[in-house]
């Protein structure tokens, strides 16, 4: 998508959203699941920040934490979620309701969770317009039609009166995006919005999101398990594993020079280039562990082809691994790699993390 230069000029000034050391845990009868375990990242206006990782890595809990939609037995335990200069964790439930679907909108994998089957698509968009922008009557109807057109739904005059079941999967997701836009959001949180769609429709929706972003200077947080989708849509990427961000970098840098063995494994399992039909992809053996204890070790070590003894006893902290083209950090005992492994391990053990840029 955008050039690195554009990304750089965008990331000047204040971030729109700044997540700082966020921790969310689920207190089950059996264990405490540290689903989000001390993560930090920023989103600037006009940029798309990808969150990528396998199933169970904590992507959705991150999104739900930002929206303050964590259900019991989950609790946000620590951190700050700075939005427009204020901590969302200090907001009252009423204030949060106004923000949700207002200046922060969400799009989920299944459009039917956002659409009510008993109302027409138009009425649902009009309800959002009434609640968040005080519009009603023919003004709202006109705006609803405009929004359906803006998201590329043909014959919007007619379709505004139809019900969700009369829409195809791709058109439904477009309608959900129209509903999200009805509130004129600054930040769009997308949790696997294209996972259920076939590849052609998926590409169209990604393209639509990019167009809308450009027109409206939207900040987008885009969650996916698919590195191919990340390559298409993200400006910067945070790779999550078992509740932690283990690598973050501008997208070009991440693909060109992945540092964490987990990221390298994810990139090796992208379908496409060089593979014959039916040839098996290199996937990482095993599953993401449930993060149910304090990480005084590397949670990826059991699956890591490069793991060594200390990985079981030292927790890797994010360190600067950039080669000069934008902030790039990885949480792995192999880094920094310009010193001996022993010295690198000492950096993590002592928590003396290098690199001034904490982004
Ligand atoms: N309501 C809950 N109660 C207990 N544990 C939960 C709950 N919701 C999520 N978790 C746990 O939190 C961890 C992170 O889950 P999350 O849904 O964020 O993963 P994800 O990265 O979004 O995965 P996927 O790609 O499958 O959507 C998992 O270990 C999950 O089991
Ligand atoms: Ni999820």
| pLDDT over threshold 70, residue 5 | no
Task: Identify the pLDDT of residue 359.
Answer: 35
**Chain-wide mean pLDDT for the chain?**
91
Tokens read off for 258: 């992945």
Q: Partners of 237 in the beta sheet? A: 50, 249
Whether residue 159 lies inside any domain: the answer is: yes
What confidence score (pLDDT) does residue 270 get? 76
| pLDDT given for residue 282 in this prediction | 67
User: Taking a C-beta distance cutoff of 8 angstroms, is the pair 74, 25 a contact?
Assistant: yes
Residue with CA at minimum distance from ligand 1 atom 5: 26
Which one is predicted more confidently, 30 or 280? 30
pLDDT in tens, 139-173: 999 999 999 999 999 999 999 999 999 999 999 99
Tell me which of 24, 34, 53, 59 to substitute to probe ligand 1's pocket, judged by most ligand atoms within 8 Å of the beta carbon. 59
Could you identify the atom of ligand 1 that is nearest to the CA of residue 72? 1
Going across the sheet that includes 32-43, the strands are 32-43, 17-27, 74-83, 86-87
- Give nearest CA residue, ligand 1 atom 11: 35
Per the domain annotation, does 164 fall within a domain? yes
Predicted confidence band of residue 265 (pLDDT cuts 50, 70, 90) = very high
Residue 175 lies in a domain: yes
**Residue 352 maps to a domain:** no
Residue 191: what pLDDT?
97
User: Which neighbouring-strand residues pair with 117?
Assistant: none
The answer as to whether 103 is a domain residue is no
CA angle (259 as vertex; 24, 269 as ends), nearest 5:
85
Show the domain range for 165: 111-184
27 CA from centroid of ligand 1 (Å): 13
The answer to which of 3-7, 50-54, 261-265 has the lowest mean pLDDT is 3-7
* SS3 label, residue 247: strand
- Ligand 2 centroid from CA 191, angstroms: 7
Asked if the model's pLDDT at residue 105 lies above 50, the reply is yes
Q: Which of 31, 39, 52, 57 to mutate to test the pocket of ligand 1 (most atoms within 8 A of CB)?
A: 57
Three-state DSSP state, 300:
coil
The fraction of the chain above a pLDDT of 90, given in percent, is: 82
- Ligand 1 centroid, distance to 243 Cα (angstroms): 9
Query: Does residue 189 belong to any structural domain of this protein?
Result: no
- Do the beta carbons of residue 259 and residue 330 sit within 8 Å? yes
- Residue 207: pLDDT band with limits 50, 70, 90: very high
Residue 358 pLDDT:
40
Strand partners, 267: none
Q: Does residue 176 lie in a domain region? A: yes
Selection from 153, 274, 38 nearest residue 162 by Cα: 153
pLDDT digits (tens, 9 = 90+) for 221-258: 999 999 999 999 999 999 999 999 999 999 999 999 99
Residue 311 binned pLDDT confidence (cut-offs 50, 70, 90): very high
Number of folded domains that form the chain: 1
Which stretch of DSSP H or E encloses residue 262?
Answer: helix 261-268
Instruction: Please state which of the ranges 164-178, 251-265, 268-282, 313-327 shows the lowest mean pLDDT.
Output: 268-282
Residue closest via CA to ligand 1's atom 17 equals 60
Residue 151: inside a domain = yes
Which range, of 67-76, 114-123, 262-271, 331-340, averages the lowest pLDDT?
A: 262-271
What's the pLDDT band for 101 if we cut at 50, 70, 90?
A: confident
Mean pLDDT over 63-91 rounds to 96
Query: Which residues contact ligand 1 via a Cβ below 6 A?
Result: 26, 28, 33, 35, 53, 55-61, 71, 74, 225, 290
Residue 10 — very low, low, confident or very high, per pLDDT cuts 50/70/90? Answer: low
pLDDT score for 324: 77
Residue 295 Cα to ligand 2 midpoint, Å, equals 22
Residue 275 has pLDDT above 90, yes or no: no
Give the C-alpha separation, 126 to 160, whole Å.
Answer: 10
355 vs 337: which has the higher pLDDT: 337
What confidence category does residue 124 fall into, taking pLDDT thresholds of 50, 70 and 90?
very high
What share of the chain has pLDDT > 70, as a percent? Answer: 91
| Ligand 1 atom nearest residue 62's Cα | 18
At residue 24, what are phi and psi to the nearest 5 degrees?
-130, 130
**Ligand 1 atom closest to Cα of residue 223:** 22
Cα–Cα distance, 343 to 335 (Å, whole number) = 9
Q: How far is CA 329 from CA 41, 68, 237, 276, 357, in A?
A: 11, 27, 11, 34, 9
Please give the order of strands across the beta sheet that includes 244-250.
Answer: 104-108, 187-191, 219-224, 48-52, 236-241, 244-250, 329-330, 319-320
Give the residue, out of 28, 60, 289, with the most ligand 1 atoms within 8 A of its beta carbon, to mutate for a pocket test.
60
Q: Which of 26, 50, 241 to mutate to test the pocket of ligand 1 (most atoms within 8 A of CB)?
A: 26
């Amino acid at each position: 998508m955008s050039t690195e230069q554009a990304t750089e000029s965008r990331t000047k000034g204040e971030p729109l959203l700044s997540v700082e050391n966020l921790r969310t845990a689920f207190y089950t009868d059996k264990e405490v699941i540290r689903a989000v375990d001390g993560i930090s990242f920023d989103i600037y206006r006009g940029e798309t920040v990808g969150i990528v990782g396998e199933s169970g890595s904590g992507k959705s809990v991150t999104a739900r934490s930002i929206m303050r939609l964590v259900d019991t037995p989950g609790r946000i335990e620590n951190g700050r979620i700075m939005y427009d200069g204020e901590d969302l964790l200090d907001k009252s439930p009423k204030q949060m309701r106004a923000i949700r679907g207002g200046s922060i909108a969400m799009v989920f994998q299944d459009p039917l969770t956002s659409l009510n089957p008993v109302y027409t698509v138009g009425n649902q968009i009009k309800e959002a317009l009434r609640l968040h922008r005080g519009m009603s009557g023919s003004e709202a109807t006109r705006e609803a039609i405009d929004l359906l057109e803006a998201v590329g739904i043909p014959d919007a005059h007619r379709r505004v009166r139809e019900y969700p079941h009369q829409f195809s999967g791709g058109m439904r997701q477009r309608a959900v995006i129209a509903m999200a836009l009805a509130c004129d959001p600054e930040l769009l949180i997308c949790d696997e919005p294209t996972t259920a769609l076939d590849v052609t429709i998926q590409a169209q929706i990604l393209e639509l999101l990019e167009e809308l972003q450009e027109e409206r200077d939207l900040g987008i947080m885009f969650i996916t398990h698919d590195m191919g989708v990340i390559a298409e849509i993200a400006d910067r990427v945070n790779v999550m594993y078992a509740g932690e961000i283990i690598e973050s970098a501008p997208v070009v840098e991440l693909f060109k020079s992945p540092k964490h063995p987990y990221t390298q494994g994810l990139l090796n399992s992208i379908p496409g280039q060089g593979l014959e039909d039916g040839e098996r992809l290199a996937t990482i053996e095993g599953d993401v562990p449930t993060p149910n204890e304090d990480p005084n070790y590397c949670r990826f070590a059991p699956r890591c082809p490069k793991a060594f003894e200390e990985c079981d006893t030292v927790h890797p902290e994010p360190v600067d691994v950039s080669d000069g083209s934008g902030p790039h950090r990885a949480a792995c005992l192999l880094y920094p790699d310009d010193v001996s492994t022993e010295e690198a391990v000492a950096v993590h053990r002592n928590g003396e993390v290098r690199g001034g840029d904490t982004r």
